[in-house]
Structure 1
């Protein structure tokens, strides 16, 4: 495990370990770590949780239309498949609009391959992601209690 490229995301449903993939998306990994180190994700909810598809969070407003005050990122698409446990950036219909929102795949979502930026993968704790309340938005959304870069923990 590389502590500088590992996130520990504590959900209200349990801990999740994410291996970051700077080899696939260096700018996106840098942004996720920057926001994490600023405490941006602490207390943020998963506003869109679709069974068999994915759990989306990272919007401080909890509505799905917000982001950080930082500029949007240029897409870093790769051939990495969207499979169970993959972490990828959410965006609008325009490819270069990823900012702070991300999603974790519950299942194979190959129709997203090459169109969304993969930046990490869950290596432990996928059951905590599975346990998030479902809905668009969930009636009582699950949240990120804290998110830390392992090197800082």
Structure 2
């Protein structure tokens, strides 16, 4: 399993709020973000409260091609989380071209993610996020009362 550090988005990255229902003429990438959120709701007892897409302005000026999908969700009654799935280009010298790279984070901490293929990618992303949420909740339960973790 690997953690790929995702490159930083440019300050002027475009931000789009993604609605729960598809809209006529929306980009296909919004469906991808919605699919991740849908699977999260299926495999975690949670509700998604916000879904956004951020995209670098690579079509307007030279900068890395990066798309970031942010989801805010609540598990149980009050466990709020923020996750980011970042897709970006990685140069592969073996084939002399770029390949897709993926970076995940949960509550601004990197999440180990190594996709088995490009099929069912929203499912694989949601499973990695679910695993990270479970580990985070176990850490909280294992912490003695009054102890503050860094």
Structure with max Cα Rg: 2
Report which structure shows greater RCO (CA 8 Å, sep ≥6): 1
Give TM-score scaled by structure 2 length.
Answer: 0.29
- 1 or 2, which has the higher strand percentage? 2
Give TM-score scaled by structure 1 length.
Answer: 0.29
